[in-house]
Amino acid sequence: MSAPDVLIAVYPEDHPRAWQSIIAELAPDEAGTLRSTYGRQTVEELSAEERGPIRVMTWAEWKAGASAAQAAIPVKWEAITEARYWELLEVLPPINWSGGAFMVSEACDHDWATGRERYQAVRECGSAPYYRTWDASSRPVTHAELAANRATPRGVRW
């Protein structure tokens, strides 16, 4: 089987971890029964262990669904303290730093569609000390997402 054709067991769509986790990679045994490659459990045994139904799909189907689910999660700027801003700025060298906005240089995860890394984004807004605010993105973002939404007002989803 090629990588996109590999069968996997995943949570149903209404499960909180539906597009976040893969339960097991599956392969047929000598009799043609699908079993996990680690532990050799059948789909029914995996369902019993997970205490609920599971879905069987190809890796390519899961990747497309995870990508769509990931893109559907709205991002908004959320208030953080000045101390937290400086902690994130100084913990690792910042990347994509421009106009007080930057990304913490250790990737949090990857965009399923493009494979590009996603980072925690942070920004400083305002010019005078009394009007300055500090924000962080509500989920990791790609470089393109930060560039397109660097000036989005706080609380607005993008």
Residue 156: predicted pLDDT:
56
Lookup: tokens for 26: 């599956």
Residue 152: predicted pLDDT:
66
Residue 17: predicted pLDDT:
65
Given a cut of 50, the residues of the chain with pLDDT beneath it are 1-2, 158
The residues spanned by each domain of the chain are 3-72, 77-149
Residue 2: predicted pLDDT:
47
Model pLDDT for residues 5-23, shown as the tens digit of each residue: 678 777 777 766 666 667 7
Burial 102-126 (b: 16+ CB within 10 A, else e): bbbeeeeeebbeeeebbbbbbbbbe
If you ran DSSP here, which 8-state letter would residue 57 be given?
E
Q: In angstroms, how far is the first alpha carbon of the chain from the final one? A: 39
If you ran DSSP here, which 8-state letter would residue 104 be given?
E
